[in-house]
Amino acid sequence: MKKIDVSIFIIAIVLFMFFAPFNSFALNYTINFSGAGASSIVDSVIVQNLTQGTTVIVPAGNGLYLSDIPNSIDQHIKNEQLVRICPNPLRDKSIVSFFANQSGNTQIKVFGIGGIMIVEKYKTLYVGDNSFQISVPKGAYAISIAGNGYSYAAKMISQASANSKPEIDFLENIENETSISTKSIVSVPLRSSSATTFMIYTQGDRLLFKGISGNNSKIVTDIPIQSKTITFNFVDCTDGDGNHYAVVQIGNQIWMAENLKTTKYNNGTSIPYVTDRAPWLALSTPGYCWHNNEVKYNWYTVNTGNLAPTGWHVPTDAEWTSLIIYLGGESVAGGKLKEAGTLHWASPNTGATNETGFTGLPGGLRGPNGTFYATGLDGYWWSSTQYNTNYAWFRNLHYYYSSANTNYNYKQYGLSVRCVQDN
């Protein structure tokens, strides 16, 4: 009996799974965006899948298409335009060509059968026919092409070596590649060229949307369960140095979504910069310092009342407490405030989901002797409320716990600052 080639058998199974008709229960949502408040225009949206750790950028005018690719991709394609893959199946390298109907940044992504991104490439393209060369290891793949005003998707099979390096290289013109016979070109139907950016999404994933309009940025977190429109209520938050901050609403409060970094009060006056240990230890007046590209302020700087951007203030201890209560109490609030993952936090970064969009980071502190401590392990933020003559209240997040802790310490300490909008 003739021996069956196992590799061909496996590829046949993958082909069947990958190109099988779309399951009627597959997930596919469209998220559109609008602006309100300080601006009705949304220039772009940065979307992070906090659950999967992936990110896409949605250009102005685009919507976001969420799908559990590859199984649901068929529902979202239409026979309006074609992408050409030559050859398909791929044996070494293939050339993919498409038409860009607008100039601008284009994002090419290749996903494996399990929905994991294998390789991506960004490039500014012009209107017209464009092509790129692709190589990937053996397997089945989905290709996502997203540009300014268009978004395409296609499927490809690779019969290359399992050790092939995933690569994407843009070409001048597909017709320059005369070594590939035009008989190998396979026309694949694409989704409509309507303005949509594609992102892999599994039901229950938590997404963070950062809407940008000029100098204003607003963060919204959500777990989409259907198609919808997200409206960013833009709010100005500009410090004495002219730095602009992203903001996020948590309950009834609007917070800065990043730490303050101004070197000037909101009236333009410079804050004293203190680098040496001995002078820092002796301070009973305002001062700031830099550590790991982050600003630390002593409590005397906070107490001037001029540190926050106009229309904002350093939160009181009571305002911090309101935030913690809204998030379910001290034992769990820390995880909801911490940036997820271990890019900045030490492992295990217990309970960190960043479901609020607060994105708390472990900037550590500067002690009264001028030494820096706990970078990567803890985040510390001042309140504007003093405990007594020598101490003031602060909040602390820790890498090993999901709690948000309340404590007080010397006013000479250098801590991070977040601000909350005036009522």
- Whole-number pLDDT of residue 39: 94
In this predicted model, what pLDDT tens digit does every residue of 160-173 receive, in sequence order? 887 788 899 888 54
Can you tell me the distance from the alpha carbon of 10 to that of 149, in angstroms, rounded to the nearest whole number? Answer: 38
Q: Kindly list the structural domains of the chain, giving each domain's residue range(s) and its CATH number in brackets, ordered by start.
A: 6-200 (2.60.40.2550), 238-421 (no CATH)
Place of tokens 């410090």: 239
The pLDDT assigned to 164 comes to 81
Residue 178 has pLDDT above 80, yes or no: no
Residue of 269, 277, 274, 293 whose CA lies nearest to 285 = 274
What is the average per-residue pLDDT within 220-228?
A: 95
**How high is the pLDDT of residue 8?**
39
Is pLDDT at 69 greater than 90 in this prediction? Answer: no
Tell me the pLDDT band of 38, cut-offs 50, 70 and 90: very high
Residue 373 has pLDDT above 50, yes or no: yes
Structure tokens at 232: 């960013």
Poorest-pLDDT segment among 30-34, 109-113, 372-376: 109-113
Region 229-234: mean pLDDT is 97
* For residue 189, cis peptide bond before it (omega within 30 degrees of 0): no
Q: How confident is the model at residue 186 (pLDDT cuts 50, 70, 90)?
A: very low
pLDDT at 155: 79
How far is 356 from 139, CA to CA, in rounded Å?
38
Average pLDDT over residues 247-275: 97
- Give backbone dihedrals phi and psi of 80, rounded to 5 degrees, phi first: -100, -35
For the segment 291-302, the average pLDDT, to the nearest whole number, is: 94
Count of Cβ atoms closer than 10 Å to residue 182 Cβ? 10
- Residue 114's pLDDT is 56
